[in-house]
Every structure is written in C-alpha cells, then in structure tokens.
A and B are shown apart, each in its own frame.
Chain A
Amino acid sequence: MAAVTETIETIDRLTDGGYKFGFETNIEMDFAPKGLNEDIVRLISAKKGEPEWLLEWRLKSYRAWLTMVEPNWARIRHPRIDYQDLYYYAAPKRAAPKSLADVDPELISMYDKLGIPLNERAALAGVAVDAVFDSVSVATTFRESLSKVGVIFCSISEAVREHPELIRKYLGSVVPAGDNYFSALNSAVFSDGSFVFIPRGVRCPMELSTYFRINARNTGQFERTLIIAEEGASVSYLEGCTAPMRDENQLHAAVVELVALDEASIKYSTVQNWYPGDAQGRGGIYNFVTKRGACRGRKSKISWTQVETGSAITWKYPSCILQGEGSSGEFYSVALTNNYQQADTGTKMIHLAPNTTSTIISKGISAGHSNNTYRGLVRIMPRAHGARNFTQCDSLLIGNQCGAHTVPYIESRNQSAKVEHEATTSKIADDQLFYCRSRGLSTEDAVGLLVNGFCRDVLKELPMEFAVEAQKLLAVSLEGSVG
C-alpha cells in the first residue's frame, strides 16, 4: 500500500493542475514504417523472432481484419481512424535488458517519477512488476521467487520463445483472432504484453502488477495479455496505466485472455487513467479493449474489477464465459467520465454450464459534457440449469450537460435460471453536499467523498493498494466538475 500511496503523492508534488500524470521521456524510438500491410505484420513477427506458426496466425488475423468493419453500435463518436497513418511497431532502441542494470536509466527515472515499485520499493510493496514501455518489456522482477513455486510471469514475447507449447495451446483460445475488429487487429500486430502461468495447486504468492505506458507519438498500442490458472491455482493480477500528455489521439487495442481450469481463480484488477483529452475534448487515448475470461473448469472463478477514469474513448467489455459447472464470473466496475470523455463499457456473462453464477456491479459517473454508457449482456443458455445472475447498474450525473445510459441485454433460455437486474439514476443531492460542507469539507472534497461512497461496492473489491489509488483518482478526475 505504501508504495502506491507514494506514487500518488510523488506525482501530486510533481505536477499541478490539469492532468496529473502527464510527462514525456525522450527515448529514441525504433519505428517500423507507418501503415499496415502483410509486410508490416511479417516485420513485427521477424523482429520478435517468432516461429512460423505464429506468423501465420498473425497473417490470418490480418486477413480477417481486412474483411471486417469497425463496430458502430457503441455510443461513441470520434473522427475516422486512419489505420494507415499509425505506427504498428515501436520499441526502445536498446535490446531487451537482462537485468535492472541494463535498463535505460532514463526509463528507470521515469518509473521513479511514477513511483512504480521496480527495485527495492517493489520488495517493500511485495509486488512483482512487468513494466511495459511501449512495445517491449524492459524489466521483470521477482522472477526467481515466482519461479520457485512454478509461476511463470514474463513478457509474452519471451513466453513465445520459452514456453511455445503454452502459447500455442492458449493464445487466441478465449478471444479468437476474428472475434471482433479490434481483436483481429491486435492479433495481427500485437507488440508485447504479459504472460502469467500458475501451475496446478499453486496460489501465486504475490499480487502481480503491470504498468502500461504509452509514449510514442502515433503509435498504436497492441498489448496482449494471457493468464492461465491451472487446476486449483489462484492469482491476483493488477493492471494500472498512466500516459504522458499529448494532443493527438492515440489508438489502443489490447486483448486480455484469461483461462481458469478446475477450481482455479483469477482476479484481474484495472485502474485505467490514460490521458482523457483536455477540457475541450482535444486529444486523449482511444481505448478499444477486448478482455475475456474463460471459466473452463468446474468451480472456477474469474473476477474483473475496473476503475476507468481515463481515455477519451473507452470501449471495453471484460467478459466471462462460464463453461465449467458451478463456475462464477464477477464484474465490478467504476467508470467515470468528465469533460468530453466517452465511455461505453460493461460486460458479458455467458452462462453455458449448470449452476453457474455471475454478479455485475456497475457504477457510472458522468460529469462535464461526457457520455457514460453501461452496456452488458447476460445470456443463459439451455444447459445452464440453476444459473444465477445479479446485476446492479447505478448512474450518477454531475451537472446537466452530461449523459448517463444503461443498455443491458438479458437473455434466458433456461427455466430454472434466475436473473435479477436493477438500474438506477441519481444525482448528488443538495442536502448531502450541504451536510458535508457544514462539517468543514470543501465542495470538491464533499463530491469526492460522496462519489467514493457511491462506488464503494466496487472499490472494496480492489486490492488495498489499488483501492487507495483509485479513490484519489476519482476525486482528482472530478476536479472542476462541480460548483
């Protein structure tokens, strides 16, 4: 907890006003040419020294992508994305370092500024970090102590080399290459990301954390994350993001795949705080993410928790495929939009097997001129006897220039299944604000407190260190939206 608290405080000291986590470093980038074609796909694969089958998989994905069109059903508006005007490969110039000593000092100093617990601070926080700087992982810590219990935590490029059998078995097995436009694009050009493997019966001894950072102009980011928990294994994975300030929109299309076998459990927590654009809605990250977990095994469990405060556009539906009998899926979400941000986020819970359960708690906060949409699907298939779903979607509007929307799809094809859905819309009541202010709180503090109260059911699902960060983020993200 200490380290992350420090992160916040360090950054708070370093910046004042506006986006609190924005600064840029000057590492020379090794760009592939702009644009996307089969040659670029081959180049990416070649630069990474990938095996033939993976190149073929990328090419197949690329060809599928060519036949697809950008989805248009989400409540988001943006200028047309010119996919030929983006870089699809960018990496720090040096070769991947073997140890911390090999890491570019400028990079280390940036992580220092961000307070990312890389060296001794990591030890204090008990967090292992796979830090992704643009495309190539530059440092991985705690590998040894994890490997003692058989846990593999490395970059996906490394996993392709070291554990090809696992990659070949699981990559694309939850999110098939052609699943959607953005996942197809990611499958063709994914740069790097994290790989986690927890062997049978192992409880991962520490929280695993990755900090993503986008730092190259016009560089699409295409992370790929794959987490596998074997029978009886469990892991908690933390993903948090900050990005430097810039004017041009950046595309981000990540894919995260989770696989949980019998009685395994995966907890995936995200705090997403990428640059949201300025107060006039200029700039900001376009975040098109496909996250999906397969509860393959009996009594397996996958839990998604997200706090989404950043990005100009968030398009994200972390989902659970409940294939194993008695498996369960959870989705806890806070999405906060301010200024001209647009978020269209939610989940899909697909109940395939008997006695599967799912819980959805979504808290949307809209402020400024933003639009915030919950979009979710609960589908009970005929075999899912005794399935249960509970969904609670609450929206909070701050000011009368924003929009809050709820679009649930609920489909039940099993008589014995029970589905409950509730949604409400509210504002912060004047009497609540006055009550807090009469106790000495400023309006902004009062709003922060009340919004955190509104989000409590989600925040309490976060690991402690993330919860602290998330609470501060919510308050910071709402600055200037009231009064």
Chain B
Amino acid sequence: MLEIKGLTATIGDKKILRGINLIMPDGEIHAIMGPNGAGKSTLSYVLSGREGYTVTGGSATFNGQDILAIEPEARAAAGIFLAFQYPVELPGVGNANFIRTAVNAIRRARGVPELDAVAFLKEARAAIKSLKMPDDMLKRNVNVGFSGGEKKRNEILQMALLKPSLALLDETDSGLDIDALKIVADGVNALRGPAFSALVITHYQRLLDHIVPDRVHVLAAGQIVRSGGPELARELEAHGYAGLEAA
C-alpha cells in the first residue's frame, strides 16, 4: 500500500507539490489527472527518487517503508517502477542486457536467485510476444533510435519483466497511436491483481477507457483537489479543468 501524507516538494525555490495526500491500497489502479504544471510528473519523480527535487515536508511510505529515504535502486527493489514520460537513450547498451541486469539487480537485492541468460530470454520473448512487439526490440540499444511509440512500449516491456508491485505511469499515453495505446493498456491490465497497484498519470480520458481506474484524482497547483470514481475522468473530459484549481 502506498501512503502519501502532506507531501511537499520544491525544484530549487519553486514550490511544486503543496501537500499531497493519497492512499493507494494494493490491487487498485488510480489515475492522476490535471492540467500542465500541476505537479503530476514531479510527483512521479519524487516517488522514484530523481535528483533535483527537494522534499520539504510530509511522507511517502510503500508497504510501511519510508521510500523517500532510500536510493532510487532501492525503491526499484522495493517494487516501484516508473514508466518515464521521456525514456532515456543508452547508446551501446543492448536492451536485453539492460533489462536482465535490472531484473537480476532487483532479484539480488531481494535475495532471490538470479536468472541466467537462457531463462531470461525465454521470459523476455514471451513478454514481447504477449505485448505484440517486434522481436528486434531486445537486440537494439536501449531506446536509441526508437520512435516515441517504441520508447513507450519498451517501458511497458520493462515493466512486464521487472514485475513491479507499484507502477507509476507518467503520461505513458502521450504521443501514442491507438494501437500502441492498446498495447500499453494491455501491458498494465495483464499485471492487474491483488498484489499490483498503479498510479496512471495522464492528461486524457482515452487511456482510462482501456485501463479502467478504481479511483481518479485531480491534481492542480500541487494539491489533489478532487477525487472520485472513473466517472470523474469522463466529467473532466467533458468540462475541462477550469474551475477546479480554486477548489
């Protein structure tokens, strides 16, 4: 369970998060919507531990563990996965090698035996197939020369293989055509279960047609200003965010 209490954070002198309160029980998928600049991406970066953000107050725990106190890799080992809005290119680093290194780093941290190359490749190929991705996805360098859609699919592939218990999807739908969007949604839905929760950050309703959230939150000016069921997303789609910020 992810519990965020009164979380405030800044970039430099600029206050971005102004007291986020959010509880996400295991097994649930929550969506965070909101206008540009509301702090949606900041929330995902703060939760995953990117440098450049200063937490000035509040707390965030995952399954009782204070995640703000630990390194990014320890958060990954704790089961948190961030699907990047802008996945990073790693020249010369093969995708399969990268994902396997990550899988085994996490397994090592958890005291689970590492996967050998053969076992990993078997799993990876199966994931590729079920996500309807091209085979060469594994052979290419991480995100290098990938189209925007391919990069997002690669994030989903990594998620499928790292099997997180909490996924943070930061505008994974942006720049995707409808087929890619479905692949992304399928990837998330495939992990749905009592031990998996996800925080889906998005601007638009359309991703939520495919990943139906249990709860929808509206983030505006660094605070959650409204929460509700899936119907809230449709309402926002129809009426926009106008008027919400004041709430």
A interface vs B, CB < 8 Å?
429-432, 434-443, 445, 449-450, 452-457
How many contacting A-B pairs (Cβ < 8 A)? 83
Residues of A within 8 A of B73 (CB): 437-443
Bound together, the chains give a CA A59 to CA B82 distance in angstroms of 69
Interface residues of B in 61-116 (CB under 8 A from A): 71-73, 75-77, 81-82, 84, 87-93, 97-99, 101-103, 105-106, 109
Kindly state whether residue B158 has any CB partner on chain A within 8 Å.
Answer: yes
Kindly state the separation between the CA atoms of A438 and B45 in the bound complex, as whole angstroms.
10
Contact assessment for A440 and B106 in the assembled complex, using a CB-CB cutoff below 8 Å: yes
Cα(A403)–Cα(B130), bound, Å? 48
Query: Are B76 and A439 touching (Cβ within 8 A)?
Result: yes
The answer to whether residues A453 and B92 also contact, given A437-B71, A440-B162 and a CB cut-off of 8 A, is yes
CB <8 Å contact, A456 and B101: no
The closest CB in chain B to the CB of A457 belongs to B92
Residues of chain B with a CB closer than 8 A to A439's CB: 73, 76, 81, 98-99, 102, 105, 158, 162
Contact B90 A435 (CB under 8 A): yes
Which 10 residue pairs of A and B lie closest in terms of their CB atoms, listed nearest first?
A453-B92, A440-B76, A456-B92, A453-B93, A437-B72, A439-B102, A435-B88, A440-B106, A440-B105, A437-B73
Q: Which of B71, B76, B92 contacts A452 (CB 8 A)?
A: B92
Check B50 for interface membership: any CB of A closer than 8 A: yes
Q: Which residue of B lies closest to A445 (CB)?
A: B105
Give Cα A441–Cα B162 distance, bound, in whole angstroms.
12
Which of under 10, 10 to 19, 20 to 34, or 35 or more describes the interface residues of B?
20 to 34
| Chain A residues, Cβ within 8 Å of B89 | 432
Contact of B91 with A449 in the complex, beta carbons under 8 Å: no
Residue of B nearest to A460 (CB): B92
Cβ of B48 under 8 Å from chain A: yes
Show 13 residue pairs from A and B whose CB-CB distance is below 8 angstroms, ordered by the A residue.
Answer: A436-B102, A438-B48, A438-B81, A438-B82, A439-B73, A439-B98, A449-B90, A449-B93, A450-B90, A453-B90, A453-B91, A454-B92, A456-B91
Q: What's the minimum C-beta distance from A63 to chain B, rounded to whole angstroms?
A: 49
Q: A445-B105, A449-B98 are in contact. Are A438 and B92 (CB under 8 A)?
A: no
A442–B103 CA distance with the chains assembled, in angstroms: 12
* A452 CB contacts on chain B under 8 angstroms: 92-93
Distance in angstroms between the alpha carbons of A435 and B92 in the assembled complex: 15
Least CB separation from A442: chain B residue: B73
- Is B51 among interface residues, defined by CB-CB distance under 8 A? yes
CB distance from A286 to the nearest CB of B (A): 31
The distance in angstroms between the C-alpha atoms of A333 and B90, with both chains bound, is 20
Whether the pair B50, A445 counts as a contact (CB closer than 8 A) is no
Shortest CB-to-CB span from B41 to chain A, Å, is 13
Q: How far is the CA of A437 from the CA of B102 in the complex (A)?
A: 9
Closest to A454 in B: B92
- B141 within 8 Å of A by Cβ? yes
Tell me, rounded to whole Å, the shortest Cβ–Cβ distance linking B68 to chain A. Answer: 14
Could you say which of B51, B99, B106, B141 contacts A434, with CB atoms under 8 Å apart? Answer: B51
Closest chain A CB from B223 CB (angstroms): 25
> Are A454 and B91 interface neighbours, CB within 8 A?
yes
Q: Is B222 an interface residue (CB 8 A)?
A: no
A268 to chain B, nearest CB (A): 23
Is the Cβ of B92 less than 8 Å from the Cβ of A440?
no
Evaluate contact between A440 and B84: CB separation under 8 angstroms. no
Q: Taking A440-B109, A454-B91 as contacts, is the C-beta distance between A435 and B162 under 8 angstroms? A: no
Q: Specify which of B48, B49, B72, B91 lies most central, judged by the most chain A CB atoms within 10 Å of its CB.
A: B72
Contact partners of B101 in chain A: CB under 8 A: 441, 445, 449
Cβ A437 vs Cβ B49 within 8 A: yes
Select from chain A the residue with minimum beta-carbon distance to B77.
A440
Closest to B82 in A: A438
Which residue, of B48, B50, B103, B158, has the highest number of chain A Cβ atoms within 10 A? B50
Chain B residues closer than 8 Å to A440, beta-carbon distance: 73, 76-77, 102-103, 105-106, 109, 162
| Chain A residues within an 8 Å CB radius of B105 | 439-442, 445
Q: Which A residues touch B109, using CB under 8 A?
A: 440
Q: How far is the CA of A267 from the CA of B200 in the complex (A)?
A: 53
How many angstroms from the CA of A454 to the CA of B142 in the assembled complex? Answer: 12
**Residue with the highest number of chain B CB atoms closer than 10 Å, among A440, A449, A453:** A440
Residues of B within 8 A of A457 (CB): 92
Distance of A453 from chain B, by nearest CB (Å): 3
Chain B residues near A435: list those with CB within 8 A. Answer: 84, 87-88, 90
Distance A436 CA – B158 CA, assembled complex (angstroms): 12
Q: How far is the CA of A442 from the CA of B90 in the complex (A)?
A: 16
Least distance between B71 CB and chain A CB atoms (Å): 7
On chain A, the residues within 8 Å of B99 by CB distance are 439
- CB-defined contacts of B50 to chain A, threshold 8 Å: 434, 438
Contacts of A431 in B (CB 8 A): 88
B110 to chain A, nearest CB (A): 10
Is the beta-carbon distance between A455 and B162 smaller than 8 angstroms? no
User: For residue B88, which residues in chain A have a CB less than 8 angstroms away from its CB?
Assistant: 429, 431-432, 434-435
Most buried by A among B82, B89, B91, B162: B91
CB-CB < 8 A to A429: which residues of B?
A: 88
Bits for B100-140, please: 1 = Cβ < 8 Å to A, else 0. 01110110010000000000000000000000000000000
B residues in contact with A443, CB < 8 Å:
71, 73
Known contacts A430-B51, A449-B98, A438 near B93 by CB under 8 Å? no
Give every chain A residue within 8 A of B82 (Cβ-Cβ).
438
Closest chain B residue to A451, Cβ basis = B92
B51 touches A438 (CB 8 A): no
B48 cross-chain contacts in A, Cβ below 8 A:
438
**Which residues of B lie under 8 Å from residue A456 when comparing CB positions?**
91-93
Collect the chain B residues with CB atoms within 8 Å of residue A449's CB. Answer: 90, 93, 97-98, 101
> How many Å from the CB of B11 to the closest CB on chain A?
14
Taking CB as reference atom, which chain B residue is nearest A455?
B92
- In the assembled complex, the Cα of A437 lies from the Cα of B81 at a distance in Å of 11
Q: Which B residues lie within 8 Å of A436 (CB)?
A: 90, 98, 102
